[in-house]
Structure 1
């Protein structure tokens, strides 16, 4: 009889496992497909021949009727440490301090690690839960209870060593969809981390080039102060010799002090950029002191690639796409609520009134069972949750498409900036040359007595203004090139996301 019961128990287990194996291949809800986006065949601004001279390396144009794509990996792509393209050792040293020091980046890293932990939490539901409950009890009952006799024992011991197992098989894919959602959310968090890193590195490069541009401006102003001081001294000597009036000295002094004031203002602005750099590398302002270094670098050529690559290279696009995938998995989770929950359970162990006979065959006990629960009425709650999940997916998909479109347009903006700034810089260089020639002529006329010193002042001021404008345009070109790198996604791509 006992053997028959054991055989029946084994048959029940085999049947249950066979049923579970048959059903666990089912996974309700839509399988994810990346939302459709339309990438242009090339960048509009890249069609302008001058763009190549404005700091961007262009790929070949698509052949007629073709879909040219460079091989991967491509030498025309930005690398991980994209700032090294500027070949500035001081910039490189500062950029290397962001990852270990910046607290915002550390917070994003911890958020990613937390999301990765959630994946392990979701995966744990694939497995049964096991528990063990050893127990020892000593019981003393009343000697005066009803129907007791003198031979009845009023005290006894109970030794138990039992274990329980409970498992909810993933019949409808709820656990698998949960793992999908957690995994894709973790990937989105990793892309957020990469995007923040890109933003911080780009911000530091922007601040650095703005600072060096101010150093170039300060160099111009310092030279002008020296020249104006020399002119003031010369005019004071002319006044002493009766060859000029005090008006000339007052004009020269006004020009000198105005330029000195501009120099003070430039140095103040430089200090603020230095403090901003200190904040980015998590240091106190007093601990960061950058020696003046005018911006005499050559503007590097930024490799563009083709627009379709932008979807893989922008971490913010990747984050939006991964959130759409996670939202899609939530639809399956919501749909699984329409199906019954099945729980398999069992337990076994030993029980005896004597510790010496606890681990013996006659002391054994066991049980197996299964339970199914189906919700019959919830006033439309599950339908509402499913509709909510579908709408949330559509919202995330629209956000992804908007991110892609915004990325294409941002690249176009930065390419346009570089093209226009290149044209403006070329024109401004001609203006500087013309202003220098005008100043030389005015000096000759003044020395020959053919004009007043006011003409010299105006020519001098015009030259300095054009020189400062030319310097500012160089700075803006570097800033725009950093903006282009950022718009292209830096040296990151989706292969760097955790799998």
Structure 2
């Protein structure tokens, strides 16, 4: 076959590559600003170790321990190493393959005259093969493996961010339960004093037995709350212990809930969020990987060019093999391309193109979810702060109401029911205040998680 004919056949086959449907048009629109404006925002930078912003050494130590020992995170990091090795496997396909084979043979045969004789053949051979990546198919497979590895790295980073946020929220909830337990135990002492006072007044005939029983019931109701809180604390400690890679056990405390302050709300635009979240980066890498796989699958119909060189030495005697061997070699150049496979490659290409479209949709959904999570976290901080202001006013009113009711009851101007109702109102306001404080702190954690927790694609 002439060079012109060979070139023409090659170009003809090149035109037979599988066709790829175009990707769907993007429907993603990036908002220009968040729906909720938060006063007192800081700079646009988010500290990578953002949990230190709470200023609690115990919290910092707990998160650090979890990032080192958490079982799920260790699995994610091991997967990163697995896919990093697979990049090398894919890249090896672009290199020459060389193998060596030695095959000494001893055979007993019959001569033409029927006399048996023994022959020895000593042989050593090497083979080298190399595929010329004319269409970039092998390079595309390497690109796909690289993007998949980067996707797993971003996934491990997302797991680390999630674990850090879960541990921080768990610790803050634990401090909130501690504060509620301390409040309930202090309230129980007040309920005991009220019960003792009601009993004394009943004993001297100053009040009815009904008021004494009401005081006793309120004491018992408060006492019942304490075991419930202790159970919740116990379970929260065990959950944090497991998250940090340990066995169930107690958790070291740091700063009291009242002294903990939510860090400054980080600033930033929605467009910046696309570079801040590892889950969005993972979706991007998945899209890169699927496009590279699509190219490699499409190019299977194109001809492949492979060079093979085989060389070796052979002799009938071991001494002559080492000193005067007979050299043998051959060089082969092969061109191969599929002619008819029942549209298998086209169907494979269509399937991967559909996967590409799914990946595009998944990327857009991930971005929209990131926008919603960040906006929700900003809105939660603003509304919780407003609610805390109202709670402070309600508590002040409840405290003054209790003071007046207590004085009226001691001086005989009102029944114990007024004081009892005022005690309940103040206790409810105090519990609500502690819960709001905890929720504001955990809302800050949610915001840091939503904003990527200091992760950036540029730093990877």
Give the structure-2-normalised TM-score: 0.91
Aligned to 1:304, the other structure's residue is in SS state: coil
Aligned to 2:132, the other structure's residue is in SS state: coil
1:367-382 matched pairs, under 5 angstroms: 367-382=330-345
Residue in 2 that maps onto 1:298: 261
Residues in 2 aligned to 1:31 and 1:456: alpha-carbon distance in whole angstroms: 75
Q: Are 2:9 and 1:41 aligned?
A: no
Cα offset for 1:361?
6.9
Residue in 2 that maps onto 1:52: 39
Aligned to 1:358, the other structure's residue is in SS state: helix
Residue in 1 that maps onto 2:288: 325
CA gap of 1:31–1:158, structure 2 versus 1, over 3 A, is farther
Q: Are 2:225 and 1:269 aligned?
A: no
Residue in 2 that maps onto 1:115: 83
Residues in 2 aligned to 1:234 and 1:442: alpha-carbon distance in whole angstroms: 15
Residue in 2 that maps onto 1:193: 156
Tell me if structure 2 keeps the 8 A contact 1:350–1:359. no
Residue in 2 that maps onto 1:171: 134
Aligned to 2:120, the other structure's residue is in SS state: strand
Cα deviation, 1:171-198, whole Å, max 9, x if unaligned, reads 1111101011100001110111111111
Q: Are 2:140 and 1:140 aligned?
A: no
Cα offset for 1:439?
0.8
Cα offset for 1:337?
0.6
Residue in 1 that maps onto 2:409: 446
Residues in 1 aligned to 2:215 and 2:234: alpha-carbon distance in whole angstroms: 29
Segments of structure 1 that go 5 or more residues without pairing to the other structure are 1-18, 59-74
Tell me if structure 2 keeps the 8 A contact 1:115–1:185. yes
CA gap of 1:362–1:238, structure 2 versus 1, over 3 A, is closer
RMSD of the alignment, in Å?
Answer: 2.6
Tell me if structure 1 keeps the 8 A contact 2:128–2:308. yes
Residues in 1 aligned to 2:255 and 2:175: alpha-carbon distance in whole angstroms: 6
Residue in 2 that maps onto 1:459: 422
Segments of structure 2 that go 5 or more residues without pairing to the other structure are 1-9
Tell me if structure 2 keeps the 8 A contact 1:30–1:332. no
The number of residues matched between the two structures is 444
Residues in 2 aligned to 1:406 and 1:395: alpha-carbon distance in whole angstroms: 16
Residues in 2 aligned to 1:225 and 1:384: alpha-carbon distance in whole angstroms: 73
Of 268-277 and 235-244, more deviation after overlay is shown by 235-244
Residue in 2 that maps onto 1:94: 62
Cα offset for 1:374?
1.6
Aligned to 2:305, the other structure's residue is in SS state: strand
Aligned to 1:198, the other structure's residue is in SS state: helix
Pick one of 60, 65, 81 that aligns with 2:49.
81
Tell me if structure 1 keeps the 8 A contact 2:93–2:138. yes
Residue in 2 that maps onto 1:222: 185
Aligned to 1:229, the other structure's residue is in SS state: helix
Residue in 1 that maps onto 2:250: 288
1:398-477 matched pairs, under 5 angstroms: 398-477=361-440
CA gap of 1:362–1:105, structure 2 versus 1, over 3 A, is closer
Cα offset for 1:30?
11
Q: Are 2:205 and 1:242 aligned?
A: yes
Residues in 2 aligned to 1:215 and 1:31: alpha-carbon distance in whole angstroms: 58
Residue in 1 that maps onto 2:170: 207
Cα offset for 1:496?
4.0
Tell me if structure 2 keeps the 8 A contact 1:214–1:294. no
